[in-house]
Amino acid sequence: MKKPGQNTKTATIGVMGKKKSGKTTTIEILTKELSKRGYRVAVAKHIPEPNFTIDTEGKDTWRYAQSGAKTVIAASASEITTIEKTYANLSLPEIMQRCKGSDIVFLEGFRKLIARDKGTYKLVVAKSAQEIEEATEAYEPILAFTGPYFAREASLKSPYIDVLKHSDRLADLVEKVIKKRL
Protein backbone atom coordinates (compact mmCIF):
# COMPACT_ATOMS: atom_id res chain seq x y z
CA MET A 1 0.00 0.00 0.00
CA LYS A 2 1.21 3.49 -0.78
CA LYS A 3 2.03 5.98 1.95
CA PRO A 4 0.15 9.27 2.47
CA GLY A 5 1.23 11.83 -0.11
CA GLN A 6 1.84 9.15 -2.79
CA ASN A 7 -1.68 8.85 -4.06
CA THR A 8 -2.85 7.41 -7.34
CA LYS A 9 -6.22 9.13 -7.21
CA THR A 10 -7.30 11.99 -5.02
CA ALA A 11 -10.29 11.46 -2.75
CA THR A 12 -12.89 14.22 -2.79
CA ILE A 13 -15.35 15.13 -0.09
CA GLY A 14 -17.87 17.92 -0.44
CA VAL A 15 -18.69 19.74 2.78
CA MET A 16 -22.25 20.88 2.37
CA GLY A 17 -24.49 23.06 4.51
CA LYS A 18 -26.26 26.37 4.80
CA LYS A 19 -24.48 29.65 5.47
CA LYS A 20 -22.96 29.86 8.98
CA SER A 21 -23.59 26.15 9.65
CA GLY A 22 -19.98 25.31 10.49
CA LYS A 23 -18.59 24.14 7.14
CA THR A 24 -15.33 26.07 7.50
CA THR A 25 -14.84 24.89 11.09
CA THR A 26 -15.45 21.28 10.01
CA ILE A 27 -12.88 21.57 7.21
CA GLU A 28 -10.35 23.24 9.53
CA ILE A 29 -10.66 20.48 12.13
CA LEU A 30 -10.45 17.67 9.59
CA THR A 31 -7.54 19.31 7.78
CA LYS A 32 -5.61 19.60 11.02
CA GLU A 33 -6.33 15.99 12.03
CA LEU A 34 -5.57 14.47 8.61
CA SER A 35 -2.42 16.57 8.18
CA LYS A 36 -1.16 15.25 11.53
CA ARG A 37 -1.70 11.75 10.12
CA GLY A 38 0.54 12.56 7.17
CA TYR A 39 -2.02 13.22 4.44
CA ARG A 40 -1.68 16.03 1.93
CA VAL A 41 -4.91 18.01 2.13
CA ALA A 42 -6.21 20.55 -0.36
CA VAL A 43 -9.32 22.70 0.00
CA ALA A 44 -11.29 24.33 -2.80
CA LYS A 45 -13.95 26.88 -1.89
CA HIS A 46 -16.65 28.14 -4.20
CA ILE A 47 -17.27 31.87 -3.87
CA PRO A 48 -20.61 32.71 -5.48
CA GLU A 49 -20.25 36.51 -5.59
CA PRO A 50 -20.01 37.31 -9.32
CA ASN A 51 -17.51 40.18 -9.03
CA PHE A 52 -15.28 38.66 -6.34
CA THR A 53 -11.54 38.78 -6.98
CA ILE A 54 -8.59 37.78 -4.84
CA ASP A 55 -6.53 40.39 -6.62
CA THR A 56 -6.33 44.03 -5.58
CA GLU A 57 -7.01 46.76 -8.10
CA GLY A 58 -3.88 48.76 -8.88
CA LYS A 59 -1.40 46.16 -7.59
CA ASP A 60 1.16 44.71 -10.01
CA THR A 61 -0.62 41.34 -10.28
CA TRP A 62 -3.90 43.08 -11.13
CA ARG A 63 -2.13 45.24 -13.73
CA TYR A 64 -0.61 42.15 -15.38
CA ALA A 65 -4.04 40.55 -15.69
CA GLN A 66 -5.54 43.76 -17.01
CA SER A 67 -2.87 43.85 -19.70
CA GLY A 68 -3.92 40.39 -20.90
CA ALA A 69 -2.03 37.80 -18.86
CA LYS A 70 -4.21 34.72 -18.36
CA THR A 71 -2.00 33.38 -15.54
CA VAL A 72 -0.23 35.50 -12.95
CA ILE A 73 1.99 33.97 -10.28
CA ALA A 74 2.89 35.90 -7.15
CA ALA A 75 5.65 34.41 -5.01
CA SER A 76 7.00 35.48 -1.64
CA ALA A 77 9.37 33.81 0.81
CA SER A 78 6.53 31.91 2.50
CA GLU A 79 3.83 31.33 -0.13
CA ILE A 80 2.96 31.28 -3.80
CA THR A 81 -0.35 31.98 -5.48
CA THR A 82 -1.48 31.47 -9.02
CA ILE A 83 -4.21 33.71 -10.34
CA GLU A 84 -5.83 32.24 -13.44
CA LYS A 85 -8.30 34.40 -15.28
CA THR A 86 -11.29 32.35 -16.41
CA TYR A 87 -14.38 33.44 -18.20
CA ALA A 88 -16.51 30.40 -17.59
CA ASN A 89 -17.36 28.17 -14.64
CA LEU A 90 -14.75 25.49 -14.17
CA SER A 91 -15.73 21.83 -14.21
CA LEU A 92 -14.96 19.52 -11.30
CA PRO A 93 -12.08 17.84 -13.20
CA GLU A 94 -10.58 21.28 -13.92
CA ILE A 95 -10.77 22.20 -10.23
CA MET A 96 -9.30 18.84 -9.20
CA GLN A 97 -6.41 19.26 -11.65
CA ARG A 98 -5.28 22.24 -9.60
CA CYS A 99 -5.12 20.00 -6.50
CA LYS A 100 -2.90 17.31 -7.99
CA GLY A 101 -0.55 15.66 -5.52
CA SER A 102 -3.10 15.82 -2.70
CA ASP A 103 -4.49 12.76 -0.98
CA ILE A 104 -7.82 14.46 -0.30
CA VAL A 105 -9.62 17.57 -1.46
CA PHE A 106 -12.37 19.13 0.59
CA LEU A 107 -14.82 21.04 -1.59
CA GLU A 108 -16.78 23.76 0.18
CA GLY A 109 -19.79 24.77 -1.84
CA PHE A 110 -19.88 23.72 -5.50
CA ARG A 111 -23.39 22.40 -4.83
CA LYS A 112 -24.41 22.37 -8.51
CA LEU A 113 -21.26 20.47 -9.51
CA ILE A 114 -21.28 17.76 -6.85
CA ALA A 115 -24.77 17.35 -5.34
CA ARG A 116 -25.51 14.04 -7.09
CA ASP A 117 -21.93 13.13 -8.11
CA LYS A 118 -21.54 9.59 -6.75
CA GLY A 119 -17.73 9.87 -6.83
CA THR A 120 -17.75 12.68 -4.29
CA TYR A 121 -18.80 11.84 -0.75
CA LYS A 122 -20.59 14.57 1.18
CA LEU A 123 -20.25 15.66 4.79
CA VAL A 124 -23.40 17.56 5.69
CA VAL A 125 -23.14 20.25 8.35
CA ALA A 126 -26.64 20.89 9.67
CA LYS A 127 -28.26 23.30 12.12
CA SER A 128 -31.73 21.76 12.11
CA ALA A 129 -33.77 18.65 11.37
CA GLN A 130 -35.15 20.43 8.30
CA GLU A 131 -31.62 20.96 6.94
CA ILE A 132 -30.89 17.26 7.41
CA GLU A 133 -34.09 16.34 5.60
CA GLU A 134 -33.31 18.71 2.71
CA ALA A 135 -29.74 17.40 2.46
CA THR A 136 -30.93 13.79 2.39
CA GLU A 137 -33.02 14.62 -0.67
CA ALA A 138 -30.41 16.82 -2.38
CA TYR A 139 -27.08 15.02 -1.88
CA GLU A 140 -25.68 11.58 -2.47
CA PRO A 141 -23.70 9.80 -1.29
CA ILE A 142 -23.66 11.25 2.24
CA LEU A 143 -20.70 10.01 4.26
CA ALA A 144 -21.81 11.59 7.55
CA PHE A 145 -23.70 14.40 9.21
CA THR A 146 -22.14 16.84 11.67
CA GLY A 147 -22.82 20.30 12.99
CA PRO A 148 -24.64 22.03 15.81
CA TYR A 149 -27.84 20.05 15.37
CA PHE A 150 -27.63 16.67 17.09
CA ALA A 151 -29.31 14.11 14.88
CA ARG A 152 -30.36 10.73 16.19
CA GLU A 153 -28.38 8.19 14.17
CA ALA A 154 -31.27 5.73 14.20
CA SER A 155 -33.22 7.98 11.84
CA LEU A 156 -30.30 8.51 9.41
CA LYS A 157 -28.77 6.29 6.75
CA SER A 158 -25.38 7.90 7.48
CA PRO A 159 -23.85 8.48 10.93
CA TYR A 160 -23.97 11.72 12.87
CA ILE A 161 -20.55 12.59 14.35
CA ASP A 162 -20.02 15.79 16.30
CA VAL A 163 -16.79 17.14 14.82
CA LEU A 164 -16.20 19.37 17.86
CA LYS A 165 -16.33 16.44 20.30
CA HIS A 166 -15.18 13.53 18.13
CA SER A 167 -12.93 14.94 15.43
CA ASP A 168 -10.88 11.73 15.49
CA ARG A 169 -13.95 9.60 14.69
CA LEU A 170 -14.93 11.82 11.78
CA ALA A 171 -11.32 11.85 10.54
CA ASP A 172 -11.26 8.03 10.78
CA LEU A 173 -14.30 7.90 8.51
CA VAL A 174 -12.70 10.30 6.02
CA GLU A 175 -9.45 8.32 6.17
CA LYS A 176 -11.33 5.20 5.01
CA VAL A 177 -12.36 7.12 1.88
CA ILE A 178 -8.76 8.20 1.29
CA LYS A 179 -7.43 4.66 1.69
CA LYS A 180 -9.90 3.37 -0.90
CA ARG A 181 -8.14 5.65 -3.40
CA LEU A 182 -4.53 4.86 -2.46
The predicted-structure confidence for 133-153, as pLDDT tens digits, reads as follows: 999 999 999 999 998 877 666
Rounded Cα distance between 177 and 95, Å, is 19
* Amino acid symbol at 143: L
- Look at residue 181 in the predicted model and tell me its pLDDT: 78
Which of 39-48, 83-92, 164-173 is the least confident region?
83-92
User: Which pLDDT belongs to residue 153?
Assistant: 60
Nearest to 37 by CA among 181, 182, 172, 143: 172
Share above pLDDT 70 across residues of the chain, in percent, rounded to a whole number: 92
Q: Are strands 71-75 and 80-84 parallel, antiparallel or unpaired?
A: antiparallel
> Rounded CA gap, 169 and 163, in Å?
8
**pLDDT of 94 over the 80 cut:** yes
Pick from 39, 32, 29, 34: nearest CA to 7:
39
Report the predicted TM-score, pTM, of the whole model to 2 decimal places.
Answer: 0.85
- Do residues 142 and 113 make contact, with C-beta atoms less than 8 angstroms apart? no
Query: Is a pLDDT exceeding 70 seen at residue 68?
Result: yes
Whether CATH 3.40.1210.10 fits 11-49+88-181: no
- Say yes or no to pLDDT of 7 above 70: no
Q: Where do the domains of the chain lie?
A: 11-49+88-181
